[in-house]
Structure 1
């Protein structure tokens, strides 16, 4: 089968990825263009992996971002669950409450991630953004940008891009192919299990969080009478305690007495051993360069955070909004300055996140013998004087 050549007009923006960061970048570009035909935007994404989309809580701070992108109505039309806040035990036996009802900017939501992502894609298709289901196989720099070698179900494709946005998540598939280094400060793993509720619960859908020696537990309700329960740990602890085994995972859950009680009270039933554990890596990482000549990275491809922040989607939306503005200003001003300003913001945000990361993990001192907590706390002490910037990785 031969190679299909796709010829496109000037200022063809190719966004590799189809998650919230990719969609937000496309939406931002559409809103920033001065004329209807300033850009041709294409989303390129791999065919479905078969892995279940992990649900996520969207905090109230994301509502203004959705509104600015013109898609806040999608939260109301897809039957996501309102999230009133969180109940947690972190650092002490006292129970903490974070009540979203006191925020003036809107509620939080427990998302059906698959429906949320699909609704963003549908909205973009209505805006004439094309979606190419294909995998990135080759990147060739050329005079007017990049020639992307793609592989679809129907064969090989060559796609000319004037500007490329890497929105491929922590893989940073495009950036790594052009030699950009990926720097990891820390890496945790979420071991997740899904449960089906026997009947609807009338309890408010609070997010539940509790620390244990192995790491920390997280639970949330999802649409469709489903529940997600996750243990965040690290590879060494998981290997030693065999926590990727459904039975060992469930035994560890039962040892987290307060957390188990909260789950049973909120979900209205006892949880049973899961049939399968889903593993998701959550590194604290950043690229050496977030922008370059006619490309930038966005969302987790640019920098990724520990899942304790619950900032995955809101960060993706914020990054995408800023990325779209930076690309538009780059073309309008014929200057690299908008891209460099975007990069500086990504590094500033990452430095601020690392401070929060260290504060959160240092605040839990109840498990002095725990490998998980000792490792995170030692990392914090070693990096207290570090500030991460492009020059750090030069």
Structure 2
């Protein structure tokens, strides 16, 4: 290609510096590709949010982190041990799924912002060129992409969308986002001393009439508590109001026992975070691929968000390399693989929700039967 004067030229532009984008970058850099990694929040520390939702990293993620060469960085971080999951689902008793015999040892309760930054910095240290801008426009010009990052023009042979469930870049190049539900999280962080007891180093899930509750300790000593429910139910029952949210939490058995009742409901500050199941179709095309939530976004009950982000990043990078080496079916095979993985997940999700039959409410009846997809459609073309 013949770049314009002053254009930045690279093999791959990756939009999004979360775990999926960083895993893609690390894999491509090991293959000898030149990479521009752009993320306005992670690349510019002054624009990072105060905190992100905590997340638990299961032991099965360790082999992927080792493959990416970052396991030491993660292990040395501010994260705390995660010994398994407790759940009250389909009955009142707690069931225990622990990692006692896992060959990889315990997982980690993550300082999520620190985890994302660790992977991003590892990719930059490996040679990725960082940019603190969103992709403003993208256009296909013969065999390459022409993108606008802030006021900079970048030309690249390949484009990877790691921007999250909105898949804004993939939609710009003609893909469509299909959503299966309108699940959201209403979450807060409870300060140290606000819990009823010293928190167990486990996550805890408990089903309720309008969804399910989750709590887990965070590395900084606070605890995450959140309700997973549907957007319309939030409006109908005013669950976004802290007192109503708190009343729902106090009506639980196990989450209430762990969190306690000493906090002031008026002091609760809720964050509302989209958590819908969805997928991008196709997840790849000529010269581009989507990874992480931009490819397949799953219900948090599956506990596979970070694992999928890392795995799709590695696999997409391998498909890009194969395509560059002349295998013109590689990106198509990657898209088919993402579709198959998402289909397997949808089946597992249905089995999971059908195991809870105590609640004859809309949240649960929706998940006991097949619901039509909600199409966002293709986005604007750059």
Pair 1:361-2:353 in alignment: yes
Count of residues in Structure 1 that have an aligned counterpart in Structure 2: 363
Alpha-carbon separation, structure 2, partners of 1:244 and 1:253: 13
User: How many angstroms does 1:5 deviate by?
Assistant: 6.3
Structure 2 counterpart of 1:215, from 188, 197, 211: 211
Spell out, residue by residue over 1:258-289, the C-alpha distance to the aligned partner (whole angstroms, 9 max, x if none): 3201334xxxx844324311011112111121
Q: Residues of 1 paired with 2:250 and 2:243: CA distance?
A: 11
Q: What are structure 2's unaligned runs of at least 5 residues?
A: 42-46, 374-382
What is the deviation of 1:379?
2.4
1:312-323 → structure 2 map (5 Å cutoff): 312-323=305-316
The change in CA–CA distance for 1:292 and 1:39 in structure 2 (over 3 A counts) is: same
d(CA) in 2 for partners of 1:378, 1:49? 39
The two structures have a TM-score, normalised by structure 1, of 0.87
Q: Show the counterpart of 1:61.
A: 60
Equivalent position of 2:40 in the other structure: 46
Distance in 1, matches of 2:352 and 2:264, equals 31
Q: Residues of 2 paired with 1:284 and 1:45: CA distance?
A: 23
Question: Structure 2 matches for 1:110-129, cutoff 5 A?
Answer: 110-129=109-128
SS in 1 for 2:352: helix
Partner of 1:103: 102
The 1-side partners of 2:166 and 2:60 are apart by: 26
Partner of 1:283: helix, strand, or coil? coil
Is the 8 Å Cα contact of residues 208 and 220 (structure 1) preserved in structure 2? Answer: yes
Residue matched to 2:91: 92
2:382 corresponds to 1:377? no
Equivalent residues in 2 for 1:204-283, closer than 5 Å: 204-264=200-260, 270-273=262-265, 274-283=267-276
Alignment check: 8 A CA contact 1:82 1:110 kept: yes
Are the structure 2 counterparts of residues 256 and 183 from structure 1 closer, same or farther at C-alpha, using a change threshold of 3 Å?
same
Output the TM-score relative to the length of structure 2.
0.90
Measure, in 1, the Cα distance between the counterparts of 2:223 and 2:97. 20
Q: State the secondary structure of the residue aligned to 1:28.
A: helix
Q: Shift of residue 8 of structure 1?
A: 4.0
Report deviation, 1:52. 2.9
1:5 touches 1:157 (CA, 8 Å); kept in 2? Answer: no
Alignment of 1:176-187 (within 5 A): 176-187=171-182
Is the Cα contact below 8 Å between 1:6 and 1:160 reproduced in 2?
no
- Counterpart-to-counterpart distance in 2, 1:234 and 1:123: 37
2:185 to 190, 199, 214: 190
Once the two structures are superposed, residues 189-233 of structure 1 have per-residue CA deviations (whole angstroms, 9 ceiling, x without a partner) of 010001111399755311010000010000011111111101000
Residues 283-315 of structure 1 show CA distances to partners (whole Å, capped at 9, x for unaligned) of 211112111110000000011001111211111
Q: 1:5 to 1:245 in 2, by over 3 A?
A: farther
